[in-house]
Homo-oligomer: A and B are copies of this chain.
């Protein structure tokens, strides 16, 4: 990988803390990144870490998962089947804003004299809190404490508690707002963003997005029902308030389509605290009228007002306590590493916890970049974490994919294929990728989904999902492969041409190794599941046959295609070419490419990139991680040695994968180096665009490096195995997994490994190639693995043959 620059958060401003991320001073420089890093969310609702005062801000944003506006994609040159429907997650009205005026002077952080300041996002409480003392222009000391959360327990609720105390009497105004920034942006409302317009970020709509259809403003409550202009989705947004103070005060509300307010005017006395609690609620729908969502918002506000802020915060803490029990990873490294590890895991929680009937956007709900679209990131980078810690969420995500099967069938038809082709990027199920070479051509999305289904079933040890929705997805995805590929007239091998693999610096190629391997897996598993269903779930089988009009000979064909799948292999070099013609290309001139010209995609025409051996992100290397049982350790090392110098890491999906494989083949230094890129992707702005939102796939990747990479955990064929490779500089690595209804707790150090079965039936796992029986008596300790001369060769060979014969089995 090309060495990247870390733009580390300076320790004096952002000190280490194992359970929170802290900001010690207001900073213009770091504001954009901090807005992302201090985001709070619950997988349905997300709020960027902007200040309560509403400004300044680089990219303020509040998002409801799946709530999007559509627009017609206009192609500079049209062609048949190009994506037509643009989809962009809407920046919904911002309910965080509480403007403070003392003596009619606003608190404006960039110019305010702050005698103390701390902001903290606490991973245990799930609360973003801030405490500061403002020495006002008139010399008054104003102490402000605020707390903000998006509730994990109450899916539709966010809340702010804002407390002000003065050392002198003064008139105080708190203007609590609900600000529609999405449309205010178009109308150029001042103080709204810094005017940057980078086309990679999100669609700047030229027309109004949110149209108010109904509203209620009574007392300290304002609720608005909106409908979007094109997608006709509806949104209910509301806020309500509780002001607690011994001071004299009164409140007034006002409503307008883009800015509603409840303004509190307070005669503040010295030392008499003012505490404003603000609840906000968001409801969205594809079908229900706005007025109905206004109603739902009213009921939600009623309930939260009854419960009160303290109770919601308690529930928040309890939720997270359960989360960390399942998901925490303890590393025996410096606190900064532990902090970063927990920040990444916390992001996974915030992106997924309440993502029900939706997917997980590439940036979670922390930014509008990538338009809030769902990619393969979910199935390949996030699902492993979820399945091992809270498989219910994986099931929801796979059920959501199933709900998009009909548009995927339509899309396959447009692409002249049978079955279903899932969109490369989407919110509503339609393909939204407007550049097919690095979009629709990534047919592997189909196999990625099938892979996630297989993993879910294998890790959970539960086949219900197959009968419910999995089998139907498997049938339709297998059909796509059967139609797309063909048997070479001479070789008799099954080929898949004209596809793009994970590496987007090499597009529309023949027989991409990753794609062919994953498609083979898809075909095999589909056949296996259909036969299993026939035998064990005859009713579900009949239902499946009815729904899909499945024919017996199709399954036979899938097996034949899978067994004949062509896998490129270069005997001379002993490596798997990324695709059939990859090795024939000219090697990129890395020596003469200045660091400033990365990422290459911003500095070279696609034609230049595509005709060279240069890789954006792990491709064959990813195949060796996902399908690691199908490669010998020697192949892994040779492939890694070949591809590693060609890989720019211009994608955030790469470093974690490279780290896992590097660990497996015994390249400890590289493993740690790549782990750090993944770990600090956002915290040290490795990709240079932290401001646009969290790289959720990379946060999932961090979990994978810790468990698969350093923990050496593998789960091929439903069997759990470990061959830990803890970094030299770390003392321990502790994590927990749920597997087949069991809870396992692992503690690894350089001397010994401890395995504890905390819940569930006894189980035999494999450690460093040896079987280990676990029951409830106590933690079982075994000495640390000794990696032999063929370093990394710790797993036994499974039934499946390696791809190429002639190489000695591992």
A441 and B607 form a contact (CB under 8 A):
yes
A415 / chain B contacts, CB cutoff of 8 Å: 605, 607-608
Q: How many angstroms from the CA of A75 to the CA of B434 in the assembled complex?
A: 9
A605 and B75 form a contact (CB under 8 A):
no
A553 / chain B contacts, CB cutoff of 8 Å: none
A434 / chain B contacts, CB cutoff of 8 Å: 76-77
1/0 per residue, CB under 8 A from B, across A585-615: the answer is 1100000000000000111111110110000
Q: How many angstroms from the CA of A433 to the CA of B607 in the assembled complex?
A: 14
A437 / chain B contacts, CB cutoff of 8 Å: 437
A508 and B604 form a contact (CB under 8 A):
no
The stretch among A78-86, A343-351, A785-793 that forms the contact with chain B is A78-86
Q: At the interface, yes or no: A435 with Cβ under 8 Å from chain B?
A: yes
Interface of A with B (CB < 8 Å)? 73-83, 86, 199, 414-416, 433-437, 439-441, 486, 488, 495, 497-498, 508, 510, 580-581, 584-586, 601-608, 610-611
Beyond A74-B76, A76-B434, A495-B586, list 10 extra A-B contacts (CB 8 Å): A76-B435, A79-B601, A81-B604, A82-B605, A415-B607, A415-B608, A416-B604, A436-B605, A510-B581, A510-B611
Quick one: closest B residue to A484, CB to CB? B611
In-complex Cβ contact of A605 among B73, B414, B510 (8 A): B414
A495 / chain B contacts, CB cutoff of 8 Å: 584, 586
What 5 pairs across the A-B complex have the smallest Cβ distances? A498-B611, A81-B605, A76-B434, A77-B435, A497-B611
A610 / chain B contacts, CB cutoff of 8 Å: 498, 508
In-complex Cβ contact of A580 among B86, B581, B606 (8 A): B581
A601 / chain B contacts, CB cutoff of 8 Å: 79-80
Q: How many angstroms from the CA of A611 to the CA of B433 in the assembled complex?
A: 20
B76 and A436 form a contact (CB under 8 A):
no
A586 / chain B contacts, CB cutoff of 8 Å: 486, 495, 497
Q: How many angstroms from the CA of A601 to the CA of B486 in the assembled complex?
A: 22
A79 / chain B contacts, CB cutoff of 8 Å: 435, 601, 605-606
Shortest distance between the CB of A606 and any CB in chain B (Å) = 5
A584 and B508 form a contact (CB under 8 A):
no
In-complex Cβ contact of A584 among B76, B439, B580, B604 (8 A): B580
Quick one: closest B residue to A79, CB to CB? B606
Quick one: closest B residue to A416, CB to CB? B608
Shortest distance between the CB of A616 and any CB in chain B (Å) = 13
A497 / chain B contacts, CB cutoff of 8 Å: 584-586, 611
Task: Give the residue among A77, A83, A486, A610 with the most B Cβ atoms within 10 A.
Answer: A77
A603 / chain B contacts, CB cutoff of 8 Å: 80
Shortest distance between the CB of A484 and any CB in chain B (Å) = 8
Shortest distance between the CB of A171 and any CB in chain B (Å) = 51
A-B contacts, 21 listed (Cβ < 8 Å): A74-B76, A75-B76, A76-B82, A77-B434, A77-B435, A79-B605, A80-B601, A80-B602, A80-B605, A81-B607, A81-B608, A82-B605, A415-B608, A416-B604, A416-B608, A437-B437, A495-B586, A497-B611, A510-B584, A510-B611, A581-B581
Quick one: closest B residue to A76, CB to CB? B434
A199 and B605 form a contact (CB under 8 A):
no
Quick one: closest B residue to A606, CB to CB? B79
A78 / chain B contacts, CB cutoff of 8 Å: 199
Q: How many angstroms from the CA of A293 to the CA of B208 in the assembled complex?
A: 45
